[in-house]
Amino acid sequence: MAFSDGFAGAALFNQGFCYTYDDVIFHPGFIDFSADQVDLSTRVSRNIQLRMPLVSSPMDTVTECEMAIAMAEVGGMGFLHFNMTLDEQVQNARKVKAHTPGYIAQPAVLRADSSISELDTLRTNRGFSSACVSEDGLCGSTLLGLVTTRDAELVRDRSTPLADIMTPVSDLVLGSSTKSLQENERLLLESKHGKLPIVDQQGNLVALLTRASYKDQLNRPPSGLPSFDTEGRILCGAAIGTRDADRLRAEALALVGVDALILDSSQGDSIYQLEMIKFLKHNLPKVDVIAGNVVTQNQARRLLEAGADGLRVGMGSGSICTTQEVCAVGRGQATAVYKVGQIAKDFGVPILADGGIQNSGHIVKALSLGASVAMCGSMFSGSTEAPGQYFFQDGVRVKKYRGMGSLDAMKKGSDSRYLSESGHLKVAQGVSGTVRDKGSVKIMIPYLAHGVKQGFQDLGANSLSKVHDLLATGELTMEVRTGAAQREGGIHDMHSYTKVAW
């Protein structure tokens, strides 16, 4: 007997309503594999493969070099924001592409003539208890020594130069850039020292290993292989705008090895993006171009026909975004992902679900509705790798987090992504605020990924391509939840409880 139970995506998303992730619930499928067998490998753009379907958003409180490095180390990818000068963005990209996975991402480095007070500031701002001392105060210049708080704690004159108190390089145990990570780790442990500077054959500081970072690595869940480019360097993306100056920015970023460029605009269906795509595909053919943001098929088609290698989907769904409220334009994120995904697959181009991600269930929904990657902003804000310093607010350890449409961000130049000229009135399309300390994304992401694998197992899909096939054939069925159903699907009827994600 034929029967109907639930709706295929084509039926659900063509009823005149737009839905968020929380509105939609999937029906379970048949399980004949374990969660560990689920393959989450994907593409973030036409030519770039990832092992993990997660990338960090190009927001100035989310992704700079430290976040981009961490994302690549766990199998994802980070996109550097462009709310900074060209030189600053290029320097961030250079640090990412030069990084060797397993080492300290941004070691503290000072000059020999730097004072102890500068070491104090470094400890306050970044929590470092020691610093390498190099000729230029930068990684890549000649290593001169190492200084720790133990060297400085009893010195009353805090203007004393580090050269007077540091341990000179001749007395240090050094690792070598020609040795493997495992060999240098073994040397660190055998030396019984807390720090192991890594130098090249010319004596230049290139990296740092610490006993603390080694212990942290042992205590973290395994993260798998990093994301590498064809030359063995970790992957790095970056955002640019669509103005003439951004063409120079794009060329400079490509020169240091950036793998993909995002055209960063809240509304990507514009002549400016079409012209920029044409320029980039002609002048930088080896760099993939991700266009957007879009939420409709008409928007997507124009960008895809222009040659976009990926699409960023979402408008007004971010936790700090007020675009839908201010401009009355946008779309529920579940509907946007499904609709754009349907046309993008005809072009063989992956889409990035950008915004509205709050938990692993939302990632499952984004990927199952047609996305190849989930782009996270608020999810990764407040993490150890996010830009900014921690501070305490009402007794809670927090970091700043803001939308790129907030007035604070616009003052630094992000108004260009809202197609606003600097001389015009600025109307906020986002807010500024704070988020709790979330720890390291290197701990968070493996747990998120396993939650996604468990979701795919419940759906009966052992890979991303399989769940997309189930969506296309209508075998993946779903329904819309009422408000009562959503409440029932969460924690309820408890006097008290503690919610621990992992």
Q: Active-site residue among 249, 321, 331, 376?
A: 321
- Please state, as a whole number, how many other Cβ atoms lie within 10 Å of the Cβ of residue 434: 18
Residue showing tokens 């708080």: 149
SS3 assignment, position 8: coil
Q: DSSP letter string over 18-47?
A: ---TTTEEEPP----S-GGG-B--EEEETT
Angstrom distance (rounded) from CA 317 to CA 127:
34
Q: Judging by DSSP bridges, how do beta strands 391-393 and 396-402 pair with one another?
A: antiparallel
Is 417 in the active site?
yes
Backbone dihedral region of 394: left (phi > 0), alpha (psi from -120 to 50 degrees) or beta? left
- Please state, as a whole number, how many other Cβ atoms lie within 10 Å of the Cβ of residue 140: 15
Q: Active-site residue among 43, 302, 402, 417?
A: 417
Q: Name the DSSP class of 502.
A: -
Q: CA-based angle 309:378:100, to the nearest 5?
A: 65
Residue showing tokens 């096939």: 469
Angstrom distance (rounded) from CA 243 to CA 246:
5
Q: Estimate to the nearest angstrom the gap between the alpha carbon of 333 and the chain centroid.
A: 19
Angstrom distance (rounded) from CA 480 to CA 473:
19
Amino acid type, 25: I
Angstrom distance (rounded) from CA 340 to CA 297:
5
Q: DSSP letter string over 109-137?
A: EEETT-BHHHHHHHHHHH--SEEEEESSS
Helices (H) and strands (E) counted in the chain, each on its own, are 17, 22
Angstrom distance (rounded) from CA 269 to CA 427:
20
Residue showing tokens 């063509």: 14
SS3 assignment, position 4: coil
User: Using a CB cutoff of 8 Å and minimum separation of 24, what contacts does 84-88 make?
Assistant: 84/60, 84/412, 86/245, 86/248, 86/249, 86/252
Inter-residue contact 90 to 420 (CB < 8 Å): no
Angstrom distance (rounded) from CA 306 to CA 424:
30
Q: Name the DSSP class of 346.
A: H
Q: Judging by DSSP bridges, how do beta strands 288-294 and 351-354 pair with one another?
A: unpaired
Residue showing tokens 């300290």: 104
Angstrom distance (rounded) from CA 136 to CA 65:
20
Which positions are annotated as active-site residues? 321, 417
